[in-house]
Structure 1
Amino acid sequence: MKYTIDHALEVLEQTPKVLNTFLSKLSDDWIFCTEGENTWSAFDIVGHLIHGEKTDWIARMQIILSDAPDKTFELFDRFAQFENSKGKTLLELLDEFSVLREQNLNHLKSLNLSEDQLLLEATHPELGTVTLKQLLATWVVHDLNHIAQLSRVMAKQYTTEVGPWKAYLPLLNT
């Protein structure tokens, strides 16, 4: 599928609703389970998404659209949620994510970006030259990636409980 802002918005607008529906009434056993050492729980994933809303997608878009001579992104701290989410509940994180996402999407829509603007470039410190279109497409896939991750982490809690049906459940074998 070719990237369009309208297609992207279809997913980006749904992510807070999906997370709220999926996670808001679960017990801590589901919210804080992981796949093992150095892996993320649902709580961690929502915190990570919040950090992205604050420091990644829109901030980097602004760099690309700016007139600055140096359009190099700062590295994204993929682990900031472990500090930023301390003392908060999952419901507080879900609410914060919903508010931030709505603000960011309203800002994106207000720009009425042209095809030429989507081809503007910046420099990612690890990946090199990237376009605005690539950044915005990555935002969509990033959401979908973490939704899949949530499902995988939670499903793996019943890996042994499903017994022989594990053979029919690819999610448990990844």
Structure 2
Amino acid sequence: MLIRLLDIIFAFFGLVVGLPVLLILTLIGLFDTGSPIFRQQRVGRHKKPFTLVKFRTMRPDTAHVASHLASSSAITPFGGFLRKTKLDELPQLWNVLWGDMSLVGPRPCLFNQQELIDEREQRGVLNARPGITGLAQVNDIDMSTPVLLAQTDAQMLQSLTLANYFKYILMTVAGKGSGDRVKKD
């Protein structure tokens, strides 16, 4: 309950304080791809679908697959900047505010990532709200290794304290973790 309250407070203030940055990135993204906001159905808590919102980093005609299956040539130059700085994740503060996500939790996957869904289901990971960041993300573990990711997610959830909540957020803000890998062309 405390973590949900912190999520709401931080997401609200993050959106208010970050509004100028969000507007500037949206405008630049409009010139970059013509469609700066990316929406995609993801697996939420208890396997319920929700619409994840983030800044578009790939060309609009890119297939909707996990990042590690997408081609690096699909990433626009501005998209590369957004990914490197993790600014592409900022709109997910809306998902946190709406209650679909938490700031800290397992990254939400696509419904076609059945191996990861199965692994997470076995470990009870899908009982938690998905998050923007977490233990796997700050340790460069992404969806290309579903078993390791599910194990790490379960470990994080079992040991998630208030101190760890802040630790993962601060590590992410400080640049720890490289984000989802993308196939090199």
Alignment TM-score, normalising by the size of structure 2: 0.30
CA radius of gyration, larger in: 1
Alignment TM-score, normalising by the size of structure 1: 0.31
Larger relative strand fraction: 2
Using CA pairs below 8 Å that are at least 6 residues apart, which structure has the higher relative contact order? 1
